[in-house]
Amino acid sequence: MDVEDKVINYNGSIIQHGRYNDRIYLMKLAPMPSDNHPHQLIDLAEKNKYSKIFAKVPERRAQIFFDAGFLEEARIPAFYSGREAAVFMGFYLKSERSIEADPDRIEEIISIALAKETEDLSKINDSPRVRACDEGDAEALVNIYKDIFATYPFPIHDPDYILGTMKSNVDYFGIESDGKLVAVSSAEMDKHSSNVEMTDFATLIDYRGYGYAKYLLARMDVEMKKKNIKTAYTIARSMSPGMNITFSKAGYQFGGRLKNNTHISGNIESMNIWYKSLIDDK
């Protein structure tokens, strides 16, 4: 198995694919895709014997995917420049990929998260202090990610990858204890479409239970609003009560579930979509 899946340009679209996640991930659809584009992705998946295609597409382009047999799994309104929705779609080449091991527990976690009362993040003081990370923190970030995630869908265990993303489109944030980073997160921006993925939350085991993810997310929301980002979202592990509750309490809305979607912490797991309009957030 390859260490990581490859990100390539495929007929004008940006896709990630490989044996690691056993899928194709359509990350960014070509500006003017042909009606045959979904079938081209299916052909590529069949050629490589992948079990799933995961596609993120603008709503106005979704019909050609529905026509090819894709199913809607989640949706984020106003995803593209605060105007057009993103539709998250799945196509299963092997039926077993669509069967979750414990769907009842996943539904229970979603219900628990949705029942939580929303907190006003603007009233959360910045203690413990959250700071922006810089290039000098790359090794520390990698060490935390290695400690928390046995596997991950992107190469966050590689300092060069962290440095590269810092220089392009990702802001990292952290909380320190006794001068060392103990909790971190990242904001992966699509500046052209004015959205951001709040992701890569990790807290060292000895420092859990203090709600550090809440403080990180509060700071991230503020910083992204300053950059005029319109929509924030996350793709959270469906079996993680803590992260789903964190986003629900922060005013994020549930957008749907991606079945058996992502290789993380040693297994392929289902993921929940949560989203929030930053322009409406007061």
Mapping DSSP onto H, E and C, the string for 190-259 reads ECCCCEEEEEEEEECHHHCCCCHHHHHHHHHHHHHHHCCCCEEEEEEECCCHHHHHHHHHCCCEEEEEEE
Please give the domain boundaries of the chain with CATH numbers for all domains: 6-98 (3.40.630.30), 103-277 (3.40.630.30)
- Nearest one of 146, 151, 190 to 18, comparing CA atoms: 151
Q: Write down the H helix ranges in the chain.
A: 37-48, 62-67, 103-115, 138-148, 159-168, 212-226, 241-249
pLDDT tens-digit profile, the chain (282 residues): 446 799 999 999 999 999 999 999 999 999 999 999 999 999 999 999 999 999 999 999 999 999 999 999 999 999 999 999 999 999 999 999 999 999 999 999 999 999 998 887 666 665 678 999 999 999 999 999 999 987 788 888 899 999 999 999 999 999 999 999 999 999 999 999 999 999 999 999 999 999 999 999 999 999 999 999 999 999 999 999 999 999 999 999 999 999 999 998 789 999 999 999 998 644
Q: What is the pTM of this model?
A: 0.93
